[in-house]
Structure 1
């Protein structure tokens, strides 16, 4: 048989699925998220032998969110779903990862190649014989598609897809038909690791741009640095750190860039989000005559409703594939090499003042005798309670906007979905992030702040956290529904209301044992400060779930201004 001849010619035969899994292990993945289905079951059998742990989520959407959170900690993640029904349940999460530059390898178990070729009327199809329709859908929200229909080319396709996933920091889509799982491929290729290095910049072009940037930096009377999400996603934080340290320049972050720089550094001046900035920050940024914009994503929520007032004439934009200096763009130039070269040749610069940023309580809150937990009071308290190396996750709502005003301890990783903003994302991401920390054998705390409305969409993932013996600290903000939507439209409309849950009963309802979790109900400031002062609670030795009661119509000022701008944008003719 021709297949036997090919197998005999292989130097080190290995099944296709083992090749795929070993490549995933090579790039740092230790756990695979997903939901079992008949088209991926056989492939799942091989995961343990390749050093991979199968998670098994409650649904594919949650699995996609969890893979997103995992990737933001580990650098890359894997998701396995089944053909049609499974992959479409996950596509919202994959689209979010694409939008926010998060690398996920999405593997889809498919019917065997002959069934696809013959257009058989199988379950999970549309009943029209079209086996390309779901591939075409996913191709729109991934940066590479690898269809493993041929054993000879499969290893090359796998390696190329994983490399694209890593380099471009976006999801890729790999199909694995059932009859290809056990096909033999060349295992000797595994001796050569996938090349994950960025292609070097053209030296002459890089030298020209670096010289131009240095000239403008030295001419500037008041330059500043502004760091955003793509600095994190495209792995230039080491270069950013050195730039901040050696330049001495005032340094700010955009909301999506929270955690990108050491916020205890004396250069750190806070979060710039246009009109959503804390007092003094907006004025300081906008009066600068040169802004080094590193990895910017200028979306509406990231700019507090497009209220940035930074002219392009005084901006230098650093991105993964181009540099823009004022109005001149230089394509095919990676910021990593340019930043490193700039740092090495900085010299002395003009350095202006840095706004003071702290977690101190506003005077009106400090003097208040009211025991109501407001956002103005809460977020300074949270900032004081956070510890070095925490993983801090916030839902895109009051929590995310409130976190803008905190000053993080060193090496805190912030996770939110500010651009895609899929409601309920943070609960799945919390599971993935906590699992990633566990896979790294670290003792990092994973902390989640999520609204009661958002929590109801993905609450099942708490059961997966319990099954995986994870220990996140989850604060459910109980304020009677969808607050960010209320501020945008429908202040008292019933569509922004929710059914009230007994959140503290959820771990028990999901089968948690009493020694695996603790629950708390907090309605006053004193109760919260006492809880945060409790060493047993703060140590994160159990899954902790806190009902945190706040007023229905209270929100951070940054959310109020952003929601107002969003409402105007929605109504604009």
Structure 2
């Protein structure tokens, strides 16, 4: 066999798969989601060898959702599937991560480079000899595609893909052919960490933008701050928090920005979503003479049906790749540095107080003699029960819209998929988020207790991804799961088809699911809650509340079929109108 001179010159040769997984561990990944398939099996052997944990999901779609949830808590995640059948099953989840700026490294086990070159008629292909068709699909939902068909380029391509995944906060795609897994690359590169620092802004341009922002901020009479999802996704929360705390400016969040701000701060004012805003918020935001909008995503559900009424003439937009001051745009100026300097230089400002949200239950709900759990009663009551640092996951539908009325304790991480809105996302995401919390606790020390992970999902949504409860049990996770039983797809009913059978679901014995999926009595506790009194008793149950409880806690909670948060009703009506437009 001929000697490859380039390989023989390597100072510290390591296998490609080892290099890849060591790099993933370096950037913070501790657990790898996915499923085995014959094109990735040898690569999977390298996971445990390099200090990583294999999760093993029920299917690739769920694995993708879980990787999304893991990344939102841990900062980045990794998913391994097999070529063709596996990767296509994960495409929906990866598209959601792309849409919502979530950094997931998707590794696909490929047929050998020889098979690809010869166009062999292999299983999991379309039978046409084209091995690029699936990667071409993923190019549209990835910020980088690294085809590791040449070992001599592999290390460079891996480093570049992981760096882009982290910095751009979007998925990347890495192919790993079976005959490349054990090829050698230069391991000495591993001594130099991947540079995950954001490129600095041009200093002169940044200082100019800062001066323009300060001019308008210092002359404003009643400014407000509005924080949205991209402040979270593009890692600007440190700068945002310092600005909010130092300035004292009334601060609001868009629905996708829930959890971005410490909601116990005195200048936190609640959720702004146009017509769907918390009480008093719309009036305060829309009367402001300056809105500092940070990381906005103005989608339909995030604006309660495009009911924002904030003039661009009164707005300064901060983003990851530009700043827009009114109608003047400054490309290539990342928000982090600008926010840092604005905070340092802003001086005394004119401040008018905003509304103060609370978790007070509406008076009509308190006076109601009905024992039924209503949406209007439950979500403020939930806010009274949540604890600091909880991870709260809400499925698109009644849960997500209801949570707009919940004022969180400090340092809560909120996870939802408001823009992509794939039904069933939340249960898969819960598995990933709970595992990320466990991994973070393990890194912090043996005595560290993982943060509580709490899922709220509808009965219809739960049926799509219920298998992940089994994955949770298999991995020793102990989230609190609320399945809202209200006879089907409530959000769809409010959009169209109130009594249509396509919005119905088969009733399940939901509380029996964890045991059916292999949960032992020492691993789980199940509850059925049908009244406000039973909810109160549950919230006072010591085992149920305790962050140290090692059991998965599963709750069937019943609400009326026809009940929904008021903002969901309004947004659904707007969606129905948009869907019905002819031109």
Give the TM-score of the pair, scaled to structure 2. 0.98
Structure 2 residues not aligned, in runs of 5+? 442-448
Distance verdict in 2 for CA 1:373–1:111, change over 3 Å: same
- 1:364 matched residue in structure 2: 364
* Structure 1 SS opposite 2:25: helix
**1:245 is paired with a residue of what secondary structure?**
helix
Give the Cα separation in 2 of the matches to 1:405 and 1:391. Answer: 17
Q: From 475, 489, 494, give the equivalent of 1:487.
A: 494
Cα deviation digits, residues 51-91 of structure 1 (max 9, x gap): 11110000000000000000000000000000000000000
- Matches for 1:178-257 after TM superposition, within 5 Å: 178-257=178-257
Alignment partner of 2:536 out of 521, 529, 536: 529
- State the partner residue of 2:445: none
Distance 2:303 2:214 in 1: 27
CA drift of 1:278 comes to 1.7
**Equivalent in the alignment of 2:387:** 387
Aligned to 1:127: 127
Q: Deviations over 1:279-311 (max 9, x none)?
A: 211111000010000000000000000000011
Aligned partner of 2:564 in structure 1 is 555
1:570 pairs with 2:574: no
Query: Could you tell me how far 1:2 is from its partner in structure 2?
Result: 4.6
Aligned ranges 1:24-35 → 2 under 5 Å: 24-35=24-35
- Which residue, out of 511, 534, 549, partners 2:518? 511
Distance 1:3 1:550, change over 3 A: farther
How does 1:132-151 map onto structure 2 within 5 Å?
132-151=132-151
Tell me if structure 1 keeps the 8 A contact 2:511–2:528: yes
Q: CA deviation at 1:151?
A: 1.0
Change (3 A) 1:3 1:417: farther
Report how many aligned residue pairs link the two structures: 573
Contact 2:250 2:353 in 1 (8 A): yes
In the alignment, structure 1 residue 496 sits paired with structure 2 residue 496: no
Structure 1 runs, 4 residues or longer, greater than 4 Å off? 1-4
Q: CA deviation at 1:3?
A: 4.5
Map 1:304-319 onto structure 2 (within 5 A).
304-319=304-319
Distance 1:215 1:7 in 2: 59
Deviations 1:245-300 (A, max 9, x none): 11110000000000101000000000000000122111110000100000000000
1:459-498 to 2 correspondences below 5 Å: 459-498=466-505
Contact kept, 8 Å, 2:107 with 2:175, in 1: the verdict is: yes
- State whether residues 278 and 357 of structure 2, in contact with CA within 8 Å, keep that contact through their aligned partners in structure 1: no
Question: Equivalent residue for 2:103?
Answer: 103
Are 1:539 and 2:537 counterparts? no
| Equivalent residue number for residue 258 of structure 1 | 258
Question: Within 1, Cα distance between the matches of 2:92 and 2:561?
Answer: 29
Deviation at 1:436, TM superposition (A): 0.3
- Distance across 2 between alignment mates of 1:8 and 1:50: 24
**3-state secondary structure, aligned to 1:457:** helix
Which residue of structure 1 lines up, in the alignment, with residue 37 of structure 2? 37
Counterpart CA distance in 2 for 1:97 and 1:535 is 36
The root-mean-square deviation of aligned C-alpha atoms, in Å, is: 0.7
Distance 1:558 1:276 in 2: 5
Q: Which residue matches 2:85?
A: 85
CA offset digits 1:6-63 (Å, max 9, x no partner): 3321000000000000000000000000000000000001111111111000000000
- Determine whether 1:449 maps to 2:449: no
User: What 5-or-longer segments of structure 1 have no aligned partner?
Assistant: none
Q: After TM superposition, give the deviation of residue 129 of structure 1 in Å.
A: 0.7
Measure how far apart 1:124 and its partner are: 0.3
Contact 2:30 / 2:51 at 8 angstroms: preserved in 1?
yes
Aligned to 1:338, the other structure's residue is in SS state helix
Tell me the alpha carbon deviations over residues 304-330 of structure 1, each in whole angstroms, 9 at most, x when there is no partner.
000000111100000000000001111
Displacement of 1:4 after TM fit? Answer: 4.2
Determine whether 1:277 maps to 2:286: no
SS in structure 2 of the partner of residue 357 of structure 1: coil
Output the CA distance in 2 between the equivalents of 1:282 and 1:165: 36
